[in-house]
A and B are shown apart, each in its own frame.
Chain A
Amino acid sequence: MRIRVDPDKCTGHARCYGLSPELFDVDDYGLSSVAGDGAVPVELEDKARLAIANCPEYAIEELPE
């Protein structure tokens, strides 16, 4: 599983970082990005789905394999 944060949609709610800090970085202006290259370890896939399901801006997407 790979994910990305769409920088045009993210407005800095930081819900993803709050729920799944292993998978995201957040900058001084509140904007999120994926940690590393966005590859999600198998054991964190549920947390990635949780982050996707809690983003009010629909800014996180799962990339096709």
Chain B
Amino acid sequence: MSDAVTDWATDYDIFDPAYVADPFTIWDDLRARCPIARSGRYGGSWLPTRMADVTEIARDIEHFSSREITVVPTDTDSEVLPAGSPPIQADPPVHTWTRRLLLPWFSHSRIATYEPYTRALCNRLVDGFIEDGSADAAADYAQQIPVRVIGRILGVPDDMSDTFTGWVRSILEFANDEERRVAARDEAIVYFIGEMEQRRGRDGDDLISTLLRAEVDGEQVSDEFILGMVGLTLIAGADTTWSALGSSLWHLATHEEDRVRLADDPALLPVAVEEFLRAYSPVTMARIVTEDVEVAGCPMHAGDRVLMNFPAANRDPDAFENPSRVVIDRAVNRHVAFGAGIHRCAGSNLARMELQVGLQEWLSRIPTFRLAEGDEVTWAGGQVRGPRHVGVVFP
């Protein structure tokens, strides 16, 4: 474990248990007195907390590059992933053409075709524990859904789901444990290289097969780029949405009025999901400063890392009325849980569908539930924040 944090403004540690458990009060404090914090930990970084600063940085792609997007440095990745993980880890022009290849897989019309599978999957999961009268809403439900939908998009067998979940947790949740992260990363790379070889020269209709046949400006896309895009699809599509779904279920388990209202009126779900995304935004990305620049009076230097604190921006009182309160029918909600600017999450339509379907099916089968007494809820943080264990009972 690293040393205890003395001052969050000058020495924050996003892996500190206090930050993981309750970052909200820390952000409120920083926003009022900083508002951009600085820390020397994990190679050093800046931490903006206001909507105006976070979105200014997100849209200023001249000064803030996406050549590294992890919250801790991952220097050895370029040896095994020479093209990185585009489009999230890329600037134009690579960002532009790689993103164009992926986006149609996550369009509204395409997402609609994944919905029946998602709905059936949710019900199958509920079937597995409804007779028990208790469940882990995070591990038994939320964690099981997005990874399987992504598996279908990639065209890999369902029985890989637990392995995928393990890799994604090691890469994101335990990113500060370099040995564990690198081991998982390398296993995933070997696996996906094998999957690419199996599909090459065939006419499969999954994402990997389609990328293998893709041409950009008359040229075949090289394996390095495909590997990066496939790995990204798994990592970005799993932990993020299961964290948001877990947080939403935790909220409903602890806020009876909201739970009853949503169970009675599922038509509210699309708006409520946006509010859960705002209040419990899971994802923090990073940018690298390309040339010296000042943001809100902070002198940032070329090479500095900036943590894109979308979750804190979504709690900014200058951007939201009463931001600490979860208002499930909030009418004005310009949240940036999916980022802002050209790197807007490519899978946001998929995430929304999974959240809406996941909550709707749970509430229709288990309208009444609450936290199990004496059973501590555990949270993970860092790049992606969400609950890992949410024991609930539904007697």
Contact A13 B103 (CB under 8 A): no
Given A26-B107, A27-B107, A30-B103; A11-B340 close (CB under 8 Å): yes
Task: Please measure, in the bound complex, the distance between the C-alpha atom of A13 and the C-alpha atom of B110, giving whole angstroms.
Answer: 15
Q: Is the interface of A mostly helix, strand, loop or mixed?
A: loop
Shortest Cβ gap from B327 to chain A (Å): 13
Q: Tell me the residues in window 1-42 of chain A with beta carbons closer than 8 Å to chain B beta carbons.
A: 11-15, 17-19, 26-30
The verdict on A61 contacting chain B, using a C-beta distance below 8 Å, is no
Closest to B344 in A: A11
Contact B333 A17 (CB under 8 A): no
The residues of A that contact B124 with a CB separation of less than 8 Å are: none
The residues of A that contact B108 with a CB separation of less than 8 Å are: 14, 17, 26, 30
Number of CB contacts from chain A to chain B under 8 A = 58
The count of residues in chain A whose C-beta lies closer than 8 Å to any C-beta of chain B is 20
Shortest Cβ gap from A22 to chain B (Å): 14
Closest to B335 in A: A56
- Which listed residue (B103, B270, B340, B352) contacts A29, Cβ 8 A? B103
- Which listed residue (B100, B331, B342, B348) contacts A13, Cβ 8 A? B348
Given A11-B344, A13-B338; A53-B107 close (CB under 8 Å): no
- Interface core residue of A29, A50, A56 (most chain B CB under 10 Å): A56
Q: Tell me the residues in window 91-141 of chain B with beta carbons closer than 8 Å to chain A beta carbons.
A: 100, 103-104, 106-110
Task: Please measure, in the bound complex, the distance between the C-alpha atom of A17 and the C-alpha atom of B349, giving whole angstroms.
Answer: 11
The verdict on B244 contacting chain A, using a C-beta distance below 8 Å, is no
Task: Please measure, in the bound complex, the distance between the C-alpha atom of A18 and the C-alpha atom of B274, giving whole angstroms.
Answer: 10
Contact B333 A54 (CB under 8 A): yes
A-contact bits for B36-76, CB 8 A (1 contact / 0 none): 00000000000000000001000000000000000000000
Task: Please measure, in the bound complex, the distance between the C-alpha atom of A54 and the C-alpha atom of B348, giving whole angstroms.
Answer: 15
Shortest Cβ gap from A33 to chain B (Å): 13
Shortest Cβ gap from B104 to chain A (Å): 5
B-contact bits for A42-63, CB 8 A (1 contact / 0 none): 0000000010011111100000
Residues on A close to B: CB < 8 A?
A: 11-15, 17-19, 26-30, 50, 53-58
Q: 7 nearest interchain CB pairs?
A: A11-B344, A53-B332, A28-B104, A29-B103, A28-B107, A56-B334, A56-B336
17 pairs from A and B in contact (CB 8 Å cutoff):
A12-B103, A12-B344, A13-B338, A13-B344, A14-B349, A19-B271, A28-B103, A28-B107, A28-B110, A29-B100, A29-B104, A29-B107, A30-B106, A30-B346, A56-B334, A56-B335, A56-B336
